[in-house]
Each structure stands twice: as structure tokens, then as C-alpha cells.
Structure 1
């Protein structure tokens, strides 16, 4: 007669990750391999019409749901918080440009209160996506990286010489608010010609509307582009050119090796990347600029959560 020994549960070291942006708050558990734990991912809408209390409740809700999904025997190492910027890391405050009701909002304290007795680390969402790409994404093996999100807004972050660079306030790498030449689009930050004001999904759609195109969303624009609509093509080319100019400038400043771009609008058409690369290629005299690789994120829409988890699992990279 044979007997079967009971299975001993495997202990998992987990990070609780939360990503907060202009359209949603999302949380999940992420293991030490950068994998989102099945059944642990929860999402609530944010948006410009939400009140401050609505946003806070969305954060508490997704955090609570993710924590409740944790299986017995797992260890929660910490909470990683990625937020749209600008932020003030030292004080735990956030002022997301597209969430006007949060100005110097104490987000870190909100998370501490929601998940007590667990360390909480907060960084700008662009830094988080960069950490994710460097850890398990398109920038594995590179030490000088910029990650970008092209979606409702445009964000970014930097890894230089193998270390994540946040700067004294936490806003280093905020590529969306670099101004690019040849554009006069006003930006909510007060600048003129910021790449976010030109090339984010909503701003690209708005430009196409001003030219007479009648669609309403980035998805509509993608369909029109695929159908050969001239205005849609011009809108995407314009946005790609602006993003490429910003990347070329950032590479001239920081000698980047690779830029990995994610976010919903980055998938409007593969041609967006061609337009980006064509703009960079115009820096013909600067091989150290034209060398930069520009690639799509390989993490789909899980990148921001994996990056927030990297604040816990890859804490040795943080300055």
C-alpha cells in the first residue's frame, strides 16, 4: 500500500502593486518573477469627473480587493504605488495633471492607512513602467533606458547606468512635458508644444477633429487609419513626429540606448513607431542619438502594475 504525502504549499513573496492614472486605479499582487498573480487584479474608474473622495475610495477598493485575494502561506513584502505626476516623493504627495481634484494629495498616507503594517514605496508611473521594461520587458539587458506611456497622457521614466533615476522630487523622466519644435499646442502645465499636448490619444483625436474628422476616440482613429483616411494618417504622423523629436532630445541629453513605449494609444497603428524613428533619424550628425532603439512594450497593459511591484521586488535599483 502506498501513501501520498500532503502537498506543502509554496511560500510566495508578493508585492501589492497599484497604478493610478487619469482613467483608472488598478491593483494586483505580483510575484518575485514579475508575474501578476491570477485572480488578484482589480480596477476602478477615476477620470476628470470624479471627486477627491471618489478617487480615494477607488484606491481603497482595489487595494482591499487585491489583499483579500491573497492565498494562505504567501508573504506580502510591501506596497508599490505608481501615480501619474507630478509627484513629491519625499512628502508622499501627488498632483496628477489629468486629475484636477488632487493637488498635493497625500496618496502615500492613504495607502498606508488602507494597508497597515506593510512598507509603502511611491514613485511616478513613468519610472514604474521603465522599471518593468528593464526587469521583464523589452529593455532587459540594457542599462540606459527610458520607458514611456502614450495614452490619456504621456509619461516616462529613466534608468541610467543601471539605476532608476527619480530626481529630488520624483519627477525625473517626465518626457510628456518636454516641448518640441514646430508645434504650438497649449498644454495644461502652462507650456506650449509639450509632447503630451500634441501626441496623447485625446489630443491626437482633438487635432483630427479640428481638421474635420468626425471620430471620437483613439479606437475610432485607429480604424480610420487602417481604412486609409487621410486626416487620420496625418494625425498619427504628426503625433509620431512629436514623440520622435522628444526622444531625440532626451537621447541627446542622457545618451539612451533604448526607449520602450506602452500605453493604449501606442497601439493605434504599428506605423506610429515608423514615424517616431523617422523623426529621430533626422539627427544625422549625431550617431549617439540615432543609435537609440525605439520599441513597443512587451508587457501589454500589465506593465504599470509590474513596474509598481518592481518598487518592492527591485528596490535595490532605487535612488
Structure 2
């Protein structure tokens, strides 16, 4: 149906959002709602937040016959086949049945659950910076770092649903401990909160990624070093991923990806060090072609672009 709508849900470590998205990848005006999440919330409180966001979006639906599916993008890890989520930054939810919760909240409408990074890849491939490419990685650089893969035009999620989880690829030359148990994971180094944490350890007096961006613009030497360090780690991870699966383009969104345009220069410089491997250095790294609607557009693509979802 040309007027069909998907209900998109994006669950992350600080918020859950819900919106209606049309078949062109546009978020329907007035349908977007947000509820806070966070590591301090209980399981019931997280479930209530998800329900509240979904129900608020549904109040704007009008004709219920237009709703053809629910698409859910969740921070990982997930268990795709069972519809379970265990977001690293939401400890109250381990193997939580998020897909079932959505289907109970929107009875009679099928739900599809995938990792949020894969949804970002879908969004970029559909209406963003990766249009026209068949081998794509989408990345989120924000509170955490996530990723997802499209290879030969189709999503790749693996047997559990966690393929493309680049935030937990370890990069050489770093020893930052990660909540997953690894050492030197790119999320532990280059996410917004962890970049700010490293800067504070060097004597910087700010608190947040937004503060760091301000300090960077003002020429603060520690902030400049922190952004360079994060860009180098992200670039090393992308170079390794490209060596593994021969990517053409990587589109990066998320709040901390906007800390400075220089972040992308540092990412590209780290990739360029693989000078003898043209199939690695060919990869194009670009900012997201989407607004902050990207995660919701990607969740909706699970419904509207179901033919590309493996």
C-alpha cells in the first residue's frame, strides 16, 4: 500500500523512541515520542517506557488499517530468533522479550527485531548516504558504538543477530577495559562518555561529549587529543572490518560523531595507513546522510524494506 505506515521503535541506553514512518522513509509529523531509559531503571520501568512511547505514537495513527508492521531496533546484544534483548547499558534487561512486548502492545501487528546498528545500515542504504552501494556498514557513535552490515544488497545479522557489532572489536594500541569483558574495544575508547572519561583522566574539567565539543572548538589541547584518539580507534576498527568483508562505504551517525568534523579526518587517516591494501583504503567514510530520525527510519525499514532483510 502506498499509504502504508510502519511503527518504528528505537531502544538505546538513554532513551526509547517511537514514531510512524511512511513508505518513503519519512517520519510522520507529530508521531515521534521519547521516554528516558538508563542503567538505573528496573525491568518494569523500562517496559513501561517502551509501552508509553509506542502508545503515544499510536494515538496519532488515524486509520489502523494503514499500520502494516512494527520495526524495532535495539542496542545489543540481542537474540534475534527469540526476540530477546540484553542491552549492555541497560543491566535490568537480560534476555528480555522485547519483540513480544511490542506485539502485546500493538495486538495483531507483526513485529521485527534487529540490532540498532543494522537498522542504521538499512536507513543509510535506503534514503541516506549509502544509497546505490551494495556493501555497506552503518555505524552509531554516541553513548555506545554500534554497527550493522549490508553485503551484496542484503542485511547480514548472523545466527544470533549480532553481526556487525563493531563497537566490540578490539583495536591495537589501546588498553581501555570494556563492560563486555574485552580490552581495547572501540566502544570503550571512542564512545562519547568514554572519550570524555579519558579526557578527564588527562586533566580536562568538562563532563559530557557536548562539553568536549565546546572545548575542542576553543582549542583545548586535551580535547583535541581526545578526539584524535577516538578517531584513530574508529578508523582502525573500520580498516579491520573492511579487510574482513570488503566494504565500499561506511556511514557514521550518532551524537558524538558530530563532536567535530575533524573526527572524520582522523578516522580516514587511520584507514590510509593500510597503504599496501587498496581494497581497504578504497572504503569511503562519510557522515550520516540522515537527520536524528535515522534510527527510527532504519527500524521502519525492517518493515518497508523487508525484501532486503535476511
CA distance in 2, matches of 1:236, 1:277: 13
Asked if 1:72 is matched to 2:63, the reply is yes
Note the 1:1-319 alignment, pairs <5 A: 12-72=3-63, 75-319=66-310
Aligned-partner SS, 1:305: helix
Matched length: 310
Aligned-partner SS, 2:293: helix
The alpha carbon displacement at 1:318 in A equals 1.1
TM value normalised by structure 1: 0.96
Q: Is the 8 A contact 1:12 1:74 kept in 2?
A: no
Aligned-partner SS, 2:163: coil
Q: Is the 8 A contact 1:17 1:27 kept in 2?
A: yes
Q: What whole-Å deviation, never above 9, does each CA across 1:27-71 have from its counterpart, x for those lacking one?
A: 000000000000000000001111111110010001001111012
Q: What whole-Å deviation, never above 9, does each CA across 1:186-227 have from its counterpart, x for those lacking one?
A: 000000000000000000000000000010001100000000
Aligned-partner SS, 2:274: coil
Q: Is the 8 A contact 2:2 2:23 kept in 1?
A: no
The alpha carbon displacement at 1:131 in A equals 0.1
> Runs of 5+ in structure 2 lacking a partner?
none
The alpha carbon displacement at 1:74 in A equals 5.7
Which runs of at least 4 in structure 1 moved beyond 6 Å after TM superposition?
A: none
The alpha carbon displacement at 1:298 in A equals 1.4
Q: What whole-Å deviation, never above 9, does each CA across 1:132-190 have from its counterpart, x for those lacking one?
A: 00000000000000000000000000000000011110000000000000000000000
Q: Is the 8 A contact 2:117 2:139 kept in 1?
A: yes
CA distance in 1, matches of 2:210, 2:222: 15
CA gap of 1:29–1:183, structure 2 versus 1, over 3 A, is same
> Runs of 5+ in structure 1 lacking a partner?
1-9
CA distance in 1, matches of 2:159, 2:64: 38
Q: What whole-Å deviation, never above 9, does each CA across 1:228-271 have from its counterpart, x for those lacking one?
A: 00000000000000000000000000000000000000000000
The alpha carbon displacement at 1:11 in A equals 6.8
CA distance in 2, matches of 1:73, 1:302: 23
Q: What whole-Å deviation, never above 9, does each CA across 1:80-110 have from its counterpart, x for those lacking one?
A: 0000000001111100000011001111111
Please identify, of 65-74 and 19-28, the stretch whose mean Cα deviation from structure 2 is larger: 65-74
CA gap of 1:283–1:11, structure 2 versus 1, over 3 A, is closer
**Structure of larger gyration radius:** 1
